Amino acid sequence: MPDRHLIDVHVLLTRDTELLLTKRRGGAFDGMWHLPSGKLDAGEDVLTAAAREAEEEVGVLINPDDLTHVHTVHVSGSGPEPRLGLFFTTSAWIGEPSNREPDKCSGLGWFDLHDLPTGLIEYPATGISAYRRGISFSVLGWSEQAGSVECWVPRRPPSLRQTQ
């Protein structure tokens, strides 16, 4: 097992009760649904990375201050390296979402948060499900006997965040 973990960021773009998903093209998850997401670059903070990934993948501009952390999942088994996935949500962006990576994505779709499509990759599905239920942390894939572990931690509403 590697001695380091990747850090991924996932963006839940919400519009009323809908969520934007992207459909993977090529590779192991071809034809499956996912969130706009990607790996943290060296020297980059997670909010900037999430905003960058949303722009690169679906062409929307997000102010990192408009992102709210909603879930963290510690994942093993989703690839060659364990990872820590940070999920952020926003309903504030500039531009109309469009497919900016047609070599990696075959389409976009808006789905009701409570009626998601079949073929949703387990890793982002875990984060989306946790977001809907108010679960802020989970562990996925570390032990087949243990299954998924979740932990509820109260979130502070945006109105209670400190401003500087």
Q: What is the pLDDT of residue 4?
A: 76
- pLDDT given for residue 80 in this prediction: 61
Asked if the structure places residue 115 within a domain, the reply is: yes
Domains contained in the chain, number = 1
> What is the model's pLDDT at position 150?
54
For residues 133 and 1, the model is more confident at 133
Each residue's pLDDT tens digit, 137-161:
988 876 654 445 555 444 444 444 4
Domain that holds residue 32: 6-153
DSSP 90-129: ES--BS----S-TTTEEEEEEEETTSPPS-B-HHHHHHHH
pLDDT value of residue 162: 42
Q: What is the pTM of this model?
A: 0.86
Structural domain contains residue 162: no
Look at residue 160 and tell me if it is in a domain. Answer: no
Choice between 96 and 4, residue whose per-residue pLDDT is larger: 96
Question: Do 88 and 69 form a contact (C-beta atoms < 8 A)?
Answer: yes
Average pLDDT over all residues of the chain:
87
Residue 33, domain CATH:
3.90.79.10
CB distance 12 to 87 below 8 Å: yes
In a domain, 107, yes or no: yes
pLDDT in tens, 26-45: 998 999 999 999 999 999 99
pLDDT, position 82: 85
Q: Across residues 43-49, what is the average pLDDT?
A: 97
**Above pLDDT 90, what percent of the chain?**
72
Task: Report pLDDT digits (tens) over 96-106.
Answer: 999 999 999 99
Residue 73, helix vs strand vs coil: strand
Q: What's the average model confidence in pLDDT over 61-79?
A: 89
pLDDT at 164: 38
In a domain, 163, yes or no: no
Q: Does residue 117 lie within any of the structural domains?
A: yes
| Rounded Cα gap, residues 164 and 16, in angstroms | 29
- Please check whether residue 15 lies inside any domain of the structure: yes
Residue 78 has pLDDT above 80, yes or no: no
95 inside domain: yes
